[in-house]
Structure 1
Amino acid sequence: MSDELIIKIFQEKMNLIYKYLMKLGCSSENAEDIVQDTFYKALKYMDGIDEDKLSSWLFKVAINKYYDLCRKNNRHVHLSIDEEIFKERLTDSRLVEDFILDLEKKEEILNILNSVNDIYKNLLFFKYDMGLSYKEIGELLDINENTVKTYLFRAREQFKKLWRERYEK
């Protein structure tokens, strides 16, 4: 594999993996370590990895390392919404009351999101927080694009069901 391809992989995929790990609640230091370990492992086994499946391989290695870290620390995986991005999306003309209401709504969304099936939670995160396309999600998870669409539909349905049960009584 060429040096150019290795650099491209590191810049594109490792950045994405780092952001994902941070959203899962991984500390910056741990996320950097996991990304570095994943890249090292990719370099070590580069000849045995199919180029078409490289993205999903990298992602799986990094996620498995994160889950190992969680098991070691007896922690659960919880998604978070970046507070700064959340604030930026507010318009300047909004009142403080609106901002507080938005924070409360964010907390409600996170509560539901963290109670959704882990696979669905990840898919919702990839699609709506990271803005990845169905194709990109499929490549990351090494699944068919149509399967991604089906799972996302089910994820949205599960989210809506849980939302209705909890907040629309």
Structure 2
Amino acid sequence: MSNELINEMFEKKMNLIYKYLIKLGCSEANAEDIVQDTFYKALKYIDGIQTEKLSSWLFKVAINKYYDLCRKNNRYTQLSLHEDIFKESLREDRLVEDYILDSEKKQEILKCLNSISEVQKNLLLFKYDIGLSYKEIAEILDINENTVKTYLFRAREQFRKVWRDNFEK
């Protein structure tokens, strides 16, 4: 594998995986450890990884390491508000009422996301929080782009159903 591909892997994928782990509820320290372990493993087995499947391989390894950590600690994955985002919001010149309303809305959204399946939650995070394209999601999950569109449609519908059942009363 070329040095250019290795640099791309480290620069682009490492940051993306780190952000994704944080969104899943992983602590910063654990996310850094998981990313480091994932890339160590990638470098160790670099000759056996197909170039076109590198992204999906990295995500699968990182997610499996995170789930192993959760099982080890008897924890379940729950999305949470990130502490730094909270601190930044307090520094902005916004009304306190606006901030409280925004944080309440975020809590409602997180509650809905945490109540749908892991696959659906991951798809919605990839698309709307991390901002990946259908093609990028397909590469990460190693599935067809049209399948991603179908699964995302179903995930949005499930989210809407949970939202209506819980918050539109």
TM-score normalised according to structure 1 size:
0.91
- 1:12-161 to 2 correspondences below 5 Å: 12-82=12-82, 85=85, 95-161=95-161
- CA RMSD between the two structures: 1.9
Letter in 2 for 1:136: E
**In structure 2, what is the Cα distance between the partners aligned to 1:87 and 1:27?**
16
List per-residue Cα deviations over 1:44-92 (Å, max 9, x = no partner).
Answer: 11111110001000110010000000000010111234465578789x7
Structure 1 residues without counterparts, runs of 5 or longer: none
SS in 2 for 1:114: helix
**In structure 1, what is the Cα distance between the partners aligned to 2:87 and 2:146?**
34
Letter in 1 for 2:53: K
SS in 2 for 1:18: helix
List per-residue Cα deviations over 1:79-131 (Å, max 9, x = no partner).
Answer: 234465578789x7753222211211111111111101110000111111111
Letter in 2 for 1:38: T
Identity rate, percent? 76
Structure 2 residues without counterparts, runs of 5 or longer: none
**In structure 2, what is the Cα distance between the partners aligned to 1:60 and 1:5?**
19
**In structure 2, what is the Cα distance between the partners aligned to 1:128 and 1:87?**
22
SS in 1 for 2:102: helix
Q: Which of 48-57 and 95-104 deviates more?
A: 95-104
**In structure 2, what is the Cα distance between the partners aligned to 1:73 and 1:84?**
24
Identify if the C-alpha distance between structure 1 residues 40 and 87 changes in structure 2 by more than 3 Å, giving closer, same or farther. closer
Determine if contact 2:113/2:121 at 8 Å carries over to the other structure: yes
Shift of 1:4: 2.1
Determine if contact 2:114/2:121 at 8 Å carries over to the other structure: yes
**In structure 2, what is the Cα distance between the partners aligned to 1:26 and 1:93?**
30
